[in-house]
Amino acid sequence: MVESTRLEVPSRYARCAVLLCAVLLVVCGAVLVPAASAHGGGSQAAIERAASTDSATEIPTLSLAASEGTDGGVSVSLETDAAVAGYQANVTFDPSVLVVDDVSGVDMADPVVNVDNENGWVFFTQSQATAVESPTLARIDFESRSAGETDVSFVTSDTRLNDESERVRVDLAGTSVDVDTDSTEDVTAEPAAFEYEPTELPTESVEAGTSVEIPVEVSNVGGTTDNYEVTLWNGDDSLATETELLSGGESATVQLTHTFTTPGTYDLSVNDENVGQLEVTGSESNASIPGFGVIGSLLGLSSLLIAARARRVR
């Protein structure tokens, strides 16, 4: 009997240990499964948030879109899906195929333009206080010079957008233009050629410190758009320069203005055409102290000192 009792005790403990382990496994399972479910749900939420963030930070595009223009030409629009308050763009093209005729604003005012049809690029820029959502910023009208294909592309370093407070990061997308023979049959591809006619000096003599304005009539007698520069010279010294963008057949009056602060005689010319001689009188200091001058100021100061001394003597 003693031996039998000794054998039953370990067997009872073993059964208890097995039951205890089973209970522990059930309890642990009940705790771990919800925790794992909660963790899995959090991961899914994090993935959804990341996807939402990626969508919210999608980079907008600034693109060039080509369409058929008038008289066999081509129009290229500058478009974006960003909110824009200001922009600048430098666009290149093959000048043997296309030349710029005009650049105009669409959803913003007409831009400031600098075009070089000889080397095949046009730079234009504009800004305003309030941003425009997804605008067509400007349109470039090209004339077809000859049959052929050309890429119309951005110069990345010279092209940018900004909203009302900061620069906007954008992807750039150019375009290509294929000009066929038919579209160039009736197109005149005469290069820009300029004529200018300065007016005579409005006066032959002025006081030092006076600004003089000389109007210059500039005409583009060629067939394509280009810039023309007029400069007011005194001998070899440049006094004023203005640049005008003119389409073929267009004319404009350019005002050259300079303030003459140093007395003397000035032999003035516009580009290479003499416009007359200007005499500037007075002293150089008169330009910086209008109505007085150093001598007048010293005399006035001396008078005040003499008057003050006379009062003290009395």
Per-residue pLDDT tens over the stretch 89-137? 999 999 999 999 999 999 999 999 999 999 999 999 999 999 999 999 9
Strands 205-207 and 171-173: unpaired
**What average pLDDT does the segment 229-245 reach?**
92
Which amino acid is located at 184 in the chain? Answer: T
My answer on whether 65 and 177 are in the same domain is: yes
Least confident piece of the model among 42-56, 82-96, 187-201, 260-274: 42-56
My answer on whether 165 and 276 are in the same domain is: no
Is a pLDDT exceeding 60 seen at residue 311? no
Listing from the earlier edge strand, what are the strands of the sheet with 210-220? 194-198, 210-220, 251-260
pLDDT tier for residue 7 given thresholds of 50, 70 and 90? very low
Strands 167-168 and 112-116: unpaired
CA distance 201 to 86: 40
Decide if 311 is inside a domain: no
Residue 192 CB partners (closer than 8 Å, separation 6+): 117, 220, 222, 223, 224, 225, 226, 228, 246, 248
Beta-bridged to residue 141, according to DSSP, are 75, 102
My answer on whether 163 and 139 are in the same domain is: yes
SS3 content of the chain, % helix, strand, coil (to 5): 25, 45, 25
pLDDT of residue 199: 79
**What average pLDDT does the segment 187-204 reach?**
78
pLDDT tier for residue 259 given thresholds of 50, 70 and 90? very high
Q: Is the dihedral of CA 160, 164, 167, 171 positive or negative?
A: negative
My answer on whether 91 and 41 are in the same domain is: no
pLDDT tier for residue 223 given thresholds of 50, 70 and 90? confident
Name the one residue in this structure whose structure tokens are 């000009």. Answer: 179
pLDDT tier for residue 157 given thresholds of 50, 70 and 90? very high
**What average pLDDT does the segment 61-73 reach?**
88
78 in Cβ contact with 62 (< 8 Å): yes
Least confident piece of the model among 26-35, 79-88, 101-110, 188-197: 26-35
103 in Cβ contact with 140 (< 8 Å): yes
Decide if 303 is inside a domain: no
My answer on whether 85 and 171 are in the same domain is: yes
**What average pLDDT does the segment 164-185 reach?**
83
Decide if 81 is inside a domain: yes
DSSP structural state of residue 57: T
Decide if 256 is inside a domain: yes
Decide if 304 is inside a domain: no
Least confident piece of the model among 154-163, 177-186, 284-293: 284-293
Decide if 156 is inside a domain: yes
- Phi then psi for residue 299, to 5 deg, are -65, -40
pLDDT of residue 37: 44
My answer on whether 239 and 221 are in the same domain is: yes
**What average pLDDT does the segment 248-277 reach?**
91
Structural domain of 271: 194-282
pLDDT of residue 277: 92
**What average pLDDT does the segment 194-208 reach?**
88
Name the one residue in this structure whose structure tokens are 């102290």. Answer: 289
Decide if 293 is inside a domain: no
Decide if 12 is inside a domain: yes
Per-residue pLDDT of 10-40, as tens digits, reads 555 556 555 665 555 554 554 444 444 444 4
Per-residue pLDDT of 138-147, as tens digits, reads 999 999 888 8
Q: How many CB atoms lie within 10 A of CB 66?
A: 17
Structure tokens at 204: 């032959």
Nearest residue to 176 via CA among 146, 149, 209: 149
Stated pTM of the model: 0.51
Number of structural domains, the chain?
A: 3
pLDDT of residue 233: 93
Beta-bridged to residue 144, according to DSSP, are 98
Cα 37 off chain centre by:
53
Nearest residue to 121 via CA among 95, 142, 96: 95
My answer on whether 263 and 240 are in the same domain is: yes
Mean of pLDDT over the chain: 79
Q: How many CB atoms lie within 10 A of CB 191?
A: 14
% the chain with pLDDT above 90: 50
CATH label of the domain that carries residue 74 = 2.60.40.680
